[in-house]
Amino acid sequence: MASTALDIITGDGDKAAIAYWKLRSHSRWLMSGCIEWMRALNKRGYGVFSIAPNANALTHRVAWVLAYGPIPNDLCVLHRCDNPRCHNVDHLFLGTRQENLADMRRKDRQRDYSGCIGIRGEANANAKLSASQVLEIRAACATQDALSKQYGVSREHIRDIRARRKWVHLDG
Ligand SMILES: [Zn+2]
């Protein structure tokens, strides 16, 4: 049975070195910090990386495996930056498929790679906000009062999010 591209990289140091070199040499660095894959993309815009004939993997998953090792079975590698071509590991995090889908439905989104949710924060049953809403709140110029009304949470909650006392694991 053929191994998957990610298995090949994990199990073979030489292949991992080649993959690392290939990933970097066929990418461009953006001011945002995104490292964009410049070769093949799939229909949804994710970079496609080939390590052997019939052994492909998505570039952001390859980058994750090279940096941190195998991806746990029930988790997926998600983008903080909403850029499916990006494979900068600083822009990636692990989340569950279920949470990702739930967020998608809530936002009525077409694309499944944006606004992904991490395993902390929203996995907590008491969480009222999604990870992407937290990022919106941090980026917003509106007052605590306005944001509290808009998102249906207390002003104290907004203040804590902005002061990074809540959702501390989220960058932004
Ligand atoms: Zn990025």
Question: What does 50-96 look like in DSSP terms, one character per residue?
Answer: EEETTEEEEHHHHHHHHHH-PPPTTEEEEESSS-TTB--GGGEEEEE
Q: How far is the CA of 46 from the centre of ligand 1 (A)?
A: 12
- CATH number for the domain spanning 73: value is 3.90.75
Domain count, the chain: 1
Q: How far is the CA of 106 from the centre of ligand 1 (A)?
A: 23
In a domain, 140, yes or no: no
In a domain, 18, yes or no: yes
DSSP 106: H
Closest of 96, 55, 54 to residue 78, by C-alpha: 96
Q: How far is the CA of 90 from the centre of ligand 1 (A)?
A: 8
In a domain, 12, yes or no: yes
In a domain, 31, yes or no: yes
In a domain, 43, yes or no: yes
Stated as kind and residue range, the H or E segment containing 27 is strand 27-29
Structure-model confidence comparison of residues 108 and 168, the more confident one = 168
Q: Give the whole-number percent of the chain exceeding pLDDT 90.
A: 35
In a domain, 156, yes or no: no
Neighbours of ion ligand 1 (CB under 5 A): 34, 81, 83, 86, 88, 91
pLDDT of residue 16: 92
In a domain, 149, yes or no: no
- 23-53 tens-digit pLDDT: 999 999 999 999 999 999 999 899 999 988 8
In a domain, 19, yes or no: yes
CB 138 within 8 A of CB 171: no
Q: Which domain holds residue 12?
A: 5-119
**pTM for this prediction:** 0.59
